[in-house]
Amino acid sequence: MKGDFQMSDTNETTEMDETTEATEAAKVPTELERVMDIVSDAKRREMADDDIIVILIQGGYPFAKAGRLFTKACQELGFSMSYKERTETAEQIIKEMGVELSDWATVEALAEHLTEQIEQTNVKQALAAIRKYAKNYEIELPKAPKKSRGDGAPRGFRAAMFDWMIENPNATEKGFGDYMVANEKNEAMTKRFWRMFEVAKKMARNIEPADEATE
C-alpha cells in the first residue's frame, strides 16, 4: 500500500516536471519574434528601415537574412504590406485607370500614383507591381533609360559597407571615415552612416546572438 502511494507520487512529480519544462520551452521566443520585438521598438523610435537592418546585422544576422527577417517582421506587425497584397491592389488600380504603358515616362508617373494610392509602398515596390501586372497580361513594358555614371551610388555598396561594419565592430569614426573616403563617398553620407553605425552597436549589445543553426 505504502509502495503504491510512493509510485503514484513519483509519477505526479514527473508529470509536473514535464509540464513545467514544456511551459518554459513555450516561453522561449522564436527568431522571428525576437526580430519583431526589435523592429517594434525601433519603429516607436521612428528609426529608418536601413538603420534597423544594420542593428540586426550587428546582432549577428547575415545581410541577406537580416533583410528577409526585417521584411517578414514588418508584415507581421502591420508596418508593411505583403508582395501579394500590393500587387493585387496595384492591378485593380491599373485596370480601373485603363492607362496605356507606352513609354517610360508613363510608367514612372503610374508608379508615383501607386505610391499615393497604396499605403506603405515606395516607387521601387510600385514599379515591381507594374512589372508583375505587365507580365500577367502579356504587356511589353518600355525599357527604362540607362543611368549615367554619377546618378547614384552603386547598388552593391551598401551591402559591402554593412559587411565592413560587421568585420570592424570596434571601428573608430576616423577609421570609418577613411573607409568611406576610399570608396569616394561624401561627408554627408559618411556622417549619416556613422551615426547609424553607433546606434546599431549600442542596440546590438541587447540582442541575443543569432542561431547559426537556423541558416
C-alpha cell at 190: 559618411
Task: Place 179 in a pLDDT band, splitting at 50, 70 and 90.
Answer: confident
In this prediction, residue 114 carries a pLDDT of 93
* 20 CB-near residues (< 8 Å, 6+ apart): none
Span 82-90, mean pLDDT? 89
CA distance 128 to 123: 9
The mean pLDDT of the chain is: 79
Q: Which of the pair, 81 or 110, is modelled with greater confidence?
A: 110
Q: Which residues of 159-182 are buried (b: 16+ CB within 10 A; e: fewer)?
A: eebbebbeeeeebeeeebbebbee
pTM across the whole model: 0.45
**Per-residue model confidence as pLDDT tens digits over 116-163:** 998 878 888 899 999 999 999 999 998 888 765 444 544 577 878 888
CA distance 127 to 111: 6
Place of cell 544576422: 61
The span from the CA of 172 to the CA of 183, in Å, is 17
Domain ranges in the chain are: 30-80+153-215, 83-136
pLDDT band at 199 (very low <50, low <70, confident <90, very high): confident
Helix (H, G, I), strand (E, B) or coil at 145: coil
Which of 29-43, 185-199, 200-214 shows the lowest per-residue confidence on average (mean pLDDT)? 200-214
Distance of alpha carbon 99 from alpha carbon 17, whole angstroms: 66
Q: Is residue 109 within 8 Å of 142, Cβ to Cβ?
A: no
Count of beta carbons in the 10 Å neighbourhood of residue 18: 10
pLDDT at 205 over 90: no
pLDDT band at 9 (very low <50, low <70, confident <90, very high): low
Alpha-carbon distance 144 to 101, whole Å? Answer: 12
Mean pLDDT value across residues 87-103: 92
203 neighbors 55 (Cβ within 8 angstroms): yes
- Helix, coil or strand: residue 71: helix
Is the pLDDT at 208 greater than 80? The verdict is no
Q: pLDDT higher for 175 or 15? A: 175
Give residue 200's pLDDT band: very low, low, confident or very high (50, 70, 90). confident
The H-or-E segment that residue 119 falls in is none
What's the pLDDT at 111? Answer: 92
